[in-house]
Amino acid sequence: MFIIFGTRGRQVDEKKGQFNCPSCCSNDNITGDQKQQQYTQIKVAKYFTLFFVPIFSYQTLGRFIKCNHCNSEYNEKVLEYAPPTFDEQVATYVEQELKSGTPISMLINKLKSQGLNEEQSTKAVNNIVSSNIVTCHQCNMDFLKGVEKCSLCDQRIGA
């Protein structure tokens, strides 16, 4: 009788849990809820086999984390990942909009239409702008200093 020993690499689901999936988070809307996703921690191990049946694992080759929602695979360290807070996301958005030439008052309205209240919107914009304001004298619109052209009338705005 032949006894066939061998080894084989095998992936085993080790545990499940909730985490902040970087890929799913970045797809969230600016005012969307920060939803945690289910993950599966997968262990890749070498198994000792007998008649091709895995008997026990004798060497762990590695572990990775898979998002059950988008199927992205990550290093274990992803479990420590914390997504930017709501305020940080708003600040990033406000800065991009201002730099791309959105007038201050229009941006505040934009924020309000996305669900922020008057105070939150004004504060988020003021945090970035403070006193760095330039005005288009043709339409009387305020912009972030550094914006060179009025997006409404195409007039050059002097610093």
- DSSP-derived 3-state class of residue 137: coil
The interaxial angle of helices 86-99 and 104-113, nearest 10 deg, is: 140
- Is 41 within 8 Å of 16 (Cβ atoms)? yes
Q: Exactly one of 10, 12, 23, 40 binds Zn ion (CB under 5 A); which one?
A: 23
Q: What is the CB neighbour count within 10 angstroms for residue 137?
A: 12
Q: Can you name the residues that pair with 44 across neighbouring β-strands?
A: 11, 62
Instruction: Supply the minimum distance, in Å, between the C-beta of residue 73 and Zn ion.
Output: 10
Stretch that binds Zn ion, among 19-27, 45-53, 82-90, 113-121 (CB under 5 A): 19-27
13-24 burial: b if 16+ Cβ within 10 Å, else e? eeeeeebbbeeb
Q: Exactly one of 10, 43, 69, 112 binds Zn ion (CB under 5 A); which one?
A: 69
Q: Pick out residues in 133-152 that bind Zn ion (CB under 5 A).
A: 136, 138-139, 150, 152
* 70 forms part of the interface with Zn ion (CB under 5 A): yes
CA dist., res. 55 & res. 134, Å (int): 73
- Of the pair 21, 147, the CB lying nearest Zn ion is at 21
Site for Zn ion (CB under 5 A): how many residues? 14
- Of the pair 55, 153, the CB lying nearest Zn ion is at 153
- Of the pair 23, 49, the CB lying nearest Zn ion is at 23
Q: Which residues lie near Zn ion (CB under 5 A)?
A: 21, 23-24, 37, 67, 69-70, 136, 138-139, 150, 152-153, 155
